[in-house]
Homo-oligomer: A and B are copies of this chain.
Amino acid sequence: MNYEALLINKNLKKTFPRLKVLEILDRADGFLSADDIHSSFKDEAHSLPLSTIYRVLDSFLKEDIVHELNLDHRNIKLYEIAHKHHAHHLICVECDKVIHLKECPVHSFEEDLKETYGFKMNHHSLDFYGVCDQCQKAL
């Protein structure tokens, strides 16, 4: 993934914080919270302030570089590099593991809703909460 090219493509200035956050998100294999990103810096000295991280994430959200996930069971938002298609999730309330689901089973349902209610649709969120295989055994 070419970070600089991506930023230029999205008309975002190529700054150190943006490159760093992009790199951290790209190397992570799942969702990260703003705080995860903050603490993924080895030495606090060369870290980024949380305010900057939030601002960077906002700019990424606007340009659809990242996607945001609101967790029901914890009061935080998680971020990851946006993949081509929006995804739905299977979330373990014990270990916070997030499994991506490729399919979207509500596409035609959504079309019906637009029709029926005259809604201009922004997005939908569909997430399943439960206890994963491993955590069930561990309990």
Report whether B125 and A126 are in contact in the complex, using a CB–CB cutoff of 8 Å. yes
- Chain B residues within 8 Å of A125, by CB: 72, 125-127, 129
Q: Considering the complex, which residues of chain A in the window 77-106 have a beta carbon less than 8 Å from any beta carbon of chain B?
A: 90, 92-93, 99, 101, 103, 105-106
Report whether A124 and B119 are in contact in the complex, using a CB–CB cutoff of 8 Å. no
**In the complex, per-residue mask of A105-128: 1 if CB is within 8 Å of any chain B CB, else 0:** 110011001100111111111111
- Chain B residues within 8 Å of A101, by CB: 113
Report whether B128 and A110 are in contact in the complex, using a CB–CB cutoff of 8 Å. yes
**In the complex, per-residue mask of A53-84: 1 if CB is within 8 Å of any chain B CB, else 0:** 00000000000000000101000000000000
25 contacts between A and B (CB under 8 A): A70-B70, A72-B123, A72-B125, A90-B117, A90-B119, A93-B122, A99-B117, A101-B113, A105-B105, A117-B132, A118-B132, A118-B133, A119-B128, A119-B132, A120-B130, A120-B136, A121-B129, A122-B130, A122-B131, A123-B128, A123-B130, A124-B129, A125-B127, A125-B129, A126-B126
Report whether B119 and A133 are in contact in the complex, using a CB–CB cutoff of 8 Å. yes
- Chain B residues within 8 Å of A70, by CB: 70, 72
9 A-B pairs closest in CB distance: A118-B133, A121-B130, A105-B109, A120-B131, A124-B128, A119-B130, A122-B129, A122-B130, A126-B126
